[in-house]
Amino acid sequence: MSSQCCEHQTCVKNVPIFRNLKEKEVHKISRLIEQRNFSSQEVIFHEGDPVGRMLILRKGRVKLVRFGEDGSEYLLDILLPGDICGGDQLFSQSKYTETGIALEEVETCTIQAESLKKEIIDNPQMAFDIMEYLNDKMTDYRDTLKIVGTKDALQRIILFLLDRNRRLGSPEIKMTQEEIGNAIYLTKETVNRKLSELQKRGWIDIYGKKKIRILDEFSMRNYES
């Protein structure tokens, strides 16, 4: 078996929607994969581009953004290894509703929509797994809306950091202050002040340009504005 084939199978096995596949089915899906690499800050797809395929993030992080009329960037989500994009648009002639930009060196695996549809017909369980994944994503988006709707800026940042901690499964969060502000509609200056306040309380540590570590999750969860 070639090393590339092994890489493709690893990509398939790390994706939640393929978790119920048998080894033979994993091998079959892996043969449909096309792999692409992207540099940091490279655009992977633009808002308005036709979908046509499902994208699987194998390595790195990808931010999903929309741009306002004045060019302002609004962060919708950050994809992590194992996440998919385009799964909710496979069964219609759809276009991307956001722009995907690599935040670091990124490796993706893509599967043409028509090829994946044929596999789903042969394995209906896959359709249920896709729906379950998309339902979890919708829950994440609803949680984000609740965070954005919080009036107190410090509490909004606390809730956002805790939410990222939950999604990542790690106390370390790699995001710039500008990215945090774009995600929860706060200015970079406000984010800077509130993160400094949290650091003074000993609840977080900030190091480098885009690394935040949660130190006192208990106090953050019990904070009331």
Query: Strand, coil or helix: what is 171?
Result: coil
CA distance 28 to 114: 15
Which tens digit of pLDDT belongs to each residue from 159-181?
999 999 998 888 899 999 999 99
Average pLDDT, the chain: 87
pTM value is 0.76
124 is written with which tokens? 């209906």
Q: Name 138's bridge partners.
A: none
Q: What is the mean pLDDT of residues 48-64?
A: 90
Residue 132: pLDDT over 60: yes
Instruction: Indicate the pLDDT class of residue 52, thresholds 50, 70 and 90.
Output: confident
Taking alpha carbons only, the member of 13, 9, 16 closest to residue 83 is 16
pLDDT at 220: 96
- Adjacency order of strands within the sheet including 62-67: 43-45, 99-102, 62-67, 73-79
